[in-house]
């Protein structure tokens, strides 16, 4: 029966507001999630595709679900969107793996503002409006108004270079602060909700090498951007070439991100931040991203980062653990990850404290500045346990080594426990730094040469 229902959904034979009962076959994320033997409403996005849709029928399918939510199935194909898909509590999104691709419809376009656009206004004058279309999403930002202070809204009218917006401006955007308008948006967005699941699909942002030169990195433009969402689960996603971060989850409680690949994005591969509390980011791959493979940001707590591979990123494998807000990131565990060939450090502990970094492998880092960065950087960090890690540089000949140090302890770092690590093959020093004496450093194995060499 289940196979028959899926075939009917896939072929698009159920039209309009057709509702199908299908047993859930995935494990519950939380106690509030439906159990495996319960049923949920399922609709297919293919039943809601119209020429007017800016989301390939996906938003319309979400809106067709009852208040308690349900499942939106996105079939095999390339689903082009020109505005964000807004999710709400109880909504599950499912695809057919990399055969289901959600992609931005138009090439990236951005233009400076020609006149100041002040708080409360509903129009902006841009230098060039040729890349904008009625009904599509637009983003406004500047050097002073960005991130949470950027504006995301819908275009309701275009007259010459004057663009009318659905929502009022919440901040000032002025040319002197390099204000600009962009046709960029998250592929999936959710806010102030709970029990959301998205799994088994691909998101392609269409970012080109030319775009990378002048498109600003903006985390609210991440491919998946959740804010204040509790009990969310993200699994088996491929996110690539997005003009922002890959997967960004800000604030909320209990976020699980697993078995995802985030690559070639403009910013970070993965981005837990802004007071996010508890959850696990496991068995993911973050590679070839412009910034960190995974970036800790601002008061993240009680979160496990384990079993991941972060490599060949433009900054660190794991970056900025500890930094941001009162107390910084704290009580997090970074364990059992492979961090290699990144431009800076394998794992960066910077500011804050009370975290655990254990049993990771950090190898052949500092590709951007050979000799400068260590496998693990401890900068202005306190009360953190750094134990059982393997930091090594096995590149041959010696002149080709890049990872200058195994563990480097600097700045106001204090009261850390650095023990039981194995450090080999570094051209500068194994464990070093001007703040080393302010922490407990013992029972580490440090060798100038790596055994066996060249492996």
Q: 22-44 pLDDT, tens per residue? A: 333 333 333 333 333 344 799 99
Asked whether residue 7 carries a pLDDT value surpassing 80, the answer given is: no
pLDDT at 192 over 70: yes
Is the pLDDT assigned to residue 184 strictly greater than 70?
Answer: yes
Q: What is the pLDDT of residue 455?
A: 65
Pairing of strands 270-273, 77-81: unpaired
First to last CA, the chain: 53
**Per residue in 31-85, pLDDT tens?**
333 333 344 799 999 999 999 999 999 999 999 999 999 999 999 999 999 999 9
* Average pLDDT, rounded, for the chain: 91
What is the rounded average pLDDT of the residues 238-249? 97
CATH 2.40.30 fits 110-182, yes or no: yes
Does the pLDDT at position 454 exceed 90? no
**pLDDT confidence tier of residue 256, bands split at 50, 70 and 90:** very high
pLDDT in tens, 93-152: 999 999 999 999 999 999 999 999 999 999 999 999 999 999 999 999 999 989 999 999
Helix, strand, coil share of the chain (percent; to 5): 10, 40, 50
- Using pLDDT thresholds of 50, 70 and 90, give the confidence band for residue 287: very high
Return the closest-CA partner of residue 272 out of 236, 238, 234. Answer: 234
Q: What is the pTM for the complete model shown?
A: 0.91
Q: In the chain, what percentage of residues exceed pLDDT 90? A: 86
């Amino acid at each position: 029966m289940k196979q028959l229902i899926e075939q009917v959904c896939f072929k698009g034979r159920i039209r309009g507001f057709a509702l199908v009962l299908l047993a859930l076959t995935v494990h519950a994320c939380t106690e509030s999630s439906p159990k495996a033997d319960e049923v949920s409403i399922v609709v297919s996005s293919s039943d809601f595709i119209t020429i007017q849709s800016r989301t390939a029928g996906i938003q319309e399918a979400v809106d067709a679900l009852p208040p308690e939510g349900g499942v939106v199935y996105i079939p095999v194909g390339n689903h082009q969107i020109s505005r964000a898909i807004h999710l709400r509590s109880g909504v599950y999104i499912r695809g057919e793996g990399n055969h289901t691709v959600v992609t931005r419809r138009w090439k990236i376009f951005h233009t400076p503002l020609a006149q100041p656009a002040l708080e409360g206004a509903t129009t902006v004058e841009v230098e060039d409006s040729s890349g904008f279309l009625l009904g599509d999403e637009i983003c406004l930002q500047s050097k002073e108004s960005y991130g949470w202070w950027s504006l995301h809204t819908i275009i309701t009218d275009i007259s010459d270079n004057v663009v009318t917006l659905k929502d009022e401006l919440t901040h000032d955007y002025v040319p002197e602060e390099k204000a600009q308008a962009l046709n960029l948006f998250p592929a999936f967005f959710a806010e102030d909700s709970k029990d959301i699941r998205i799994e088994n699909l691909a998101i392609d942002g269409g970012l080109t090498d030319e775009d990378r030169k002048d498109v600003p990195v903006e985390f609210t433009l991440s491919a998946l951007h959740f804010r204040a969402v509790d009990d969310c689960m993200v699994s088996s996603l491929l996110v690539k070439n997005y003009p922002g971060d890959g997967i960004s989850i800000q604030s909320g409680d209990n976020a699980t991100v697993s078995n995802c690949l985030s690559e070639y994005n403009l910013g970070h591969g993965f981005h837990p931040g802004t007071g996010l509390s508890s959850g696990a980011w496991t068995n993911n791959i973050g590679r070839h991203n412009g910034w960190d493979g995974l970036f800790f940001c601002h008061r993240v707590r009680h979160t496990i980062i384990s079993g991941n591979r972060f490599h060949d990123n433009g900054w660190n494998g794991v970056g900025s653990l500890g930094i941001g807000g009162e107390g910084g990131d704290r009580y997090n565990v970074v364990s059992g990850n492979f961090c290699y060939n990144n431009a800076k450090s394998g794992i960066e502990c910077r500011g804050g404290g009370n975290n655990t970094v254990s049993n990771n492998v950090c190898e052949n880092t500092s590709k951007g500045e050979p000799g400068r960065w260590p496998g693990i950087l401890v900068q202005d960090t306190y009360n953190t346990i750094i134990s059982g890690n393997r930091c090594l540089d096995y590149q041959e000949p010696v002149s080709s080594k890049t990872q200058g140090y195994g563990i480097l302890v600097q700045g106001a770092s204090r009261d850390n426990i650095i023990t039981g690590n194995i450090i080999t093959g570094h051209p500068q020093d194994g464990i070093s730094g001007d703040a080393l004496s302010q922490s407990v450093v013992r029972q580490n194995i440090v060798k100038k040469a790596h055994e066996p060499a060249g492996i």
